[in-house]
Structures are given as structure tokens and as C-alpha cells.
């Protein structure tokens, strides 16, 4: 183990040392051979971070933008598939790329549990470890930690909890969460924040807002690679407009390059979520990307884009895909239903994904009814392609100045859809 960098896990309660965070991985990245060449490319592109709004829609607040990272450009609005543990479940990186995906998300909490950020750094960073050459974002792990509820002890310095893997005592602080993300090497990293549950007493939400802002300052101070990784702040405040506004004002003072909206898609209604987004987006810096975390259903994404959001992530395309639930422009197809027993049509007419080009609904139903693993894979691929087609069409319509037409082309975005699946990973 590298001197000065104790692992987050261990007997008792071990803290993660971040004193030399600025030099994370330098020696390893300059290794000979392919790893050395990779390091050179990364270092030369260190200044390649930026965001520009290319067009705004005259009929809404929708924005067409471009986010530049060391691993490539991202056209916005964008949907980011979730690769929580360095994998988009059941899908190879090449298959993910084939869906039109350009950026994926990983999770600090899960990757630190297994295999550990130190090992991933030793093996060349998260991009190389999982074979993904495009841009990547890592969540700080705050949502996952706080969802452990009874296993968590929270104080103003950080969070202590028991590992769900082996019961080891662990602790995350703004400094350690940032250092772990520095080691992982994603292009965009997130501040460690406190995500209150829904419903929740207002007083508890006020505490979470205050902590999240103070922790954002500490994350910024601890950030060891600001020229290579953008650090986004996270707005909290539940469904309380005044708390959201206060959080936005205080985070603006931290002056981070991106603005995330957290603490939604945790049980509130679509209407409550959109009330928050509607009120908050105009109060966020216009020159920074806006990221609605953990969202969501097509209806949620379209409504948020029309209110000014640029970035989204959600596990629904793959989680629902593994459960025989396919997204289409006109509504869901639940493949276990008997009506598809002899249906020779593709999942969605006009879809260009490998699933729709090569397979019928009847065949896909057969795969699920017989427990074949190919079924979840093929429907997950289709669902990812659906989300990419949806956001690509939004980009086209914003450029054309008629974003609201998305409702005509994707009626599912205007209809209420119920699903048994949760949005967060």
C-alpha cells in the first residue's frame, strides 16, 4: 500500500488520508508502454474542459449545448447510462457505444467497496479498468450511503457506516470522497452531499442543505485535479422552493463549474419534481451545465429539458430491461404478456437498435419465459438506444426552435407512466 494512503476499510475506523491528493496516480500514469502513452494523451488534454450553450429554444427554456472533456465532447441534452460498479449491467462497452451513448456514470461508494479506488488507480484508472474510452462521471456515493439509514452515523465532519459487504467500519468525508474520485479519474466528479429522504421534516432538510454547502467548500479545497476533472456542486432542499433557492445562492459562492439538482426522484410526484426544476433552473448560472440526478422516466426527462436541464442519469433503461419492460415512443411493452406470444413485430417500428433490427417480440418473450440471459441483454440494449434517440431528437428540435414537438413524436413523454422500478441505482 502506498505510504500516506491508508485504505478506507480496515479494523476499527480508518480514515482516508488526502494530504497528497494533488499527486494522485502521477507515477503510475507515467509507466512505460501503452499506459505511458495513455498518460501523455490525458496530460495533453488536461485543459480540455468547457461548456457552451449553442442554442436556446424560443418556445421553452430548453438548451442545446456542448460539454468538452479530456475524453471527448458531449452533446447536450444528454442521457448517461449507469455503470455503478464499472459496468453497465449485462452490456459490453462496445454495445453501449453502439446505442449512441457518449458518457456513462460510475459510483464512488460501490467502487470503493469493491475493488477499491487504490487498485483501480494502480491498474490505470477507471477508464482503462473497464475498457471505456469516452467521458465518464462519478457520483460521490452520498445517496447510496444515506440510503443505508440505520447503518449510518452522520455528523458535521462526515458519515460513518458499516460495509454491506463484510460489516467493516467505514467513513466517508468530503475530503475522502473527493480523493477517491481523483483516483478513479472520471472527467466529471461530484461533491459529497447529504441527501435527505422523502418525506422528511423541514428541519432535517435545512440541516442537509447547510451540510451540503459546507461540504462543497471542503470538496473544492480537497480537489487534487481541477484541470482534468470538473467538480459539480449538488443542490439540495427537498420540495421546498425557499431552501432550494438558498442552496443555489450559497453554492454560487463556491463557484463550481457545474450544477446538479439532487434529492429528487426519491418518492415525490412528477408534479412536485417539476415545480422544483421550474423554479430552480433560472436561478442556476446560465453558463454552467445543469444535471438532474437519478432521473428518470421519459416524461420526467422531457419535462426537465423544457425547463432548462442539460444532463440526466438513471438505471431504468437497464433495470427495466432486465425485467422484460421495453420503452417505446408510444408507451411500454411488457414482454411477458401473453399478447406477444406470436407477435412477429420488432419491439419498436423504426428503431435502429440491434434488437429491433434482428428480433421479434415473440422471440424476446420466449427468452424471458425460458430464463435465457439473452433476453435482458437485448431489451437493455433497446432501452439504452431509446433513451439516446429521445435525447438526440430533443437536441435536433431545440436547434430547429420547436422543442415542444417532442410530445408529438414521443407521445410517451406526455403521458403518465407508472413503473414498479425505482429510479436510483
Which candidate in 17, 57, 139, 420 is catalytic? 139
Judge whether 117 and 186 are in contact, CB under 8 Å: no
**Per-residue buried b or exposed e for 5-41, using 16+ beta carbons within 10 Å of the residue's own CB:** bebbbeeeeebbbbeebeebbeeebeeeeebeebbee
Is residue 139 flagged as an active site residue? yes
**Phi (first) and psi of residue 127, to 5 degrees:** -60, -50
CB–CB of 350/408 below 8 Å?
no
Residue (of 141, 422, 138) closest to 297 by Cα position: 422
Let me know if 420 is a catalytic residue. no
User: Distance between CA atoms of 185 and 303, rounded to whole angstroms?
Assistant: 32
- Region of 265 (left: φ > 0; alpha: ψ -120 to 50; beta: rest) is left
Catalytic residue among 20, 193, 313, 396: 313
Contact 48, 32 (CB under 8 A): no
Residues in the chain, how many?
A: 425
**DSSP for 222-264, written as a single string:** H-S-TTTSEEEEEE--TT-HHHHHHHHHHHHHH--SEEEE-S-
Specify which residues 291 forms β-bridges with.
260, 311
**Residue of 104, 95, 77 whose CA lies nearest to 379:** 95
Q: Quick one: cell of 364?
A: 424476446
Q: Pick the closest to residue 102 from 121, 78, 85, 124 (CA basis).
A: 78
Task: Give whole-number Cα distances, 336 to 121, 194, 302, 369, in Å.
Answer: 43, 39, 28, 7
CA–CA separation, 50 and 67 (whole Å) = 6
CA dihedral 233, 239, 244, 245 (to 10 degrees): 150
The x, y and z cell numbers of residue 185, run together, are 479519474
Residues recognised as catalytic: 139, 313
Amino acid at each position: 500500500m502506498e505510504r500516506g494512503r491508508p485504505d478506507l476499510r480496515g479494523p476499527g475506523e480508518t480514515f482516508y488520508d488526502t494530504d497528497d491528493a494533488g499527486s494522485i496516480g502521477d507515477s503510475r500514469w507515467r509507466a512505460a508502454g501503452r499506459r505511458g502513452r495513455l498518460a501523455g494523451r490525458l496530460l495533453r488534454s488536461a485543459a480540455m474542459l468547457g461548456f457552451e450553450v449553442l442554442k436556446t429554444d424560443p418556445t421553452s427554456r430548453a438548451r442545446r449545448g456542448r460539454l468538452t472533456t479530456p475524453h471527448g465532447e458531449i452533446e447536450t441534452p444528454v442521457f448517461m447510462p449507469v455503470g455503478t460498479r464499472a459496468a453497465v449491467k449485462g452490456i459490453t462497452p462496445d454495445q453501449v457505444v453502439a446505442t449512441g451513448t457518449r458518457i456513462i456514470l460510475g459510483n464512488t461508494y460501490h467502487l470503493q467497496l469493491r475493488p477499491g479506488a487504490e487498485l483501480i488507480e494502480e491498474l490505470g484508472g477507471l477508464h482503462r479498468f473497464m475498457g471505456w474510452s469516452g467521458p465518464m462521471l462519478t457520483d460521490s456515493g452520498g445517496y447510496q450511503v444515506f440510503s443505508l439509514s440505520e447503518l449510518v452515523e452522520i455528523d458535521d465532519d462526515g458519515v460513518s457506516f458499516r460495509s454491506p459487504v463484510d460489516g467493516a467500519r467505514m467513513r466517508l468525508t468530503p475530503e475522502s470522497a473527493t480523493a477517491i474520485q481523483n483516483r478513479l479519474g472520471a472527467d466529471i466528479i461530484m461533491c459529497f452531499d447529504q441527501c435527505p429522504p422523502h418525506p422528511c421534516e423541514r428541519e432535517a432538510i435545512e440541516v442537509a442543505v447547510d451540510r451540503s454547502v459546507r461540504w462543497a467548500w471542503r470538496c473544492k479545497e480537497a480537489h487534487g485535479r481541477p484541470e482534468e476533472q470538473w467538480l459539480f456542486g449538488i443542490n439540495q432542499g427537498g420540495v421546498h422552493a425557499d431552501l432550494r433557492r438558498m442552496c443555489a445562492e450559497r453554492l454560487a459562492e463556491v463557484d463550481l463549474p457545474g450544477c446538479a439538482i439532487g434529492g429528487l426522484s426519491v418518492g415525490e410526484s412528477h408534479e412536485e419534481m417539476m415545480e422544483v426544476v421550474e423554479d430552480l433552473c433560472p436561478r442556476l448560472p446560465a453558463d454552467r451545465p445543469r444535471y438532474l440526478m437519478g432521473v428518470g422516466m421519459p416524461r420526467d426527462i422531457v419535462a426537465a429539458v423544457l425547463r432548462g436541464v442539460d444532463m440526466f442519469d438513471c438505471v431504468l433503461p437497464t433495470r427495466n430491461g432486465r425485467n422484460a419492460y421495453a420503452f417505446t415512443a408510444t408507451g411500454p411493452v411488457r414482454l411477458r404478456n401473453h399478447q406477444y406470444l406470436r407477435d412477429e413485430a420488432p419491439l419498436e417500428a423504426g428503431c435502429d437498435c440491434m434488437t429491433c433490427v434482428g428480433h421479434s417480440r415473440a422471440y424476446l418473450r420466449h427468452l424471458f419465459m425460458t430464463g435465457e440471459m439473452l433476453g435482458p441483454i437485448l431489451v437493455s440494449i433497446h432501452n439504452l438506444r431509446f433513451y439516446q434517440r429521445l435525447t438526440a431528437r430533443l437536441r435536433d428540435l431545440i436547434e430547429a426552435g420547436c422543442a415542444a414537438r417532442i410530445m408529438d413524436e414521443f407521445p410517451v413523454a406526455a403521458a403518465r407512466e407508472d413503473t414498479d422500478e425505482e429510479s436510483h441505482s
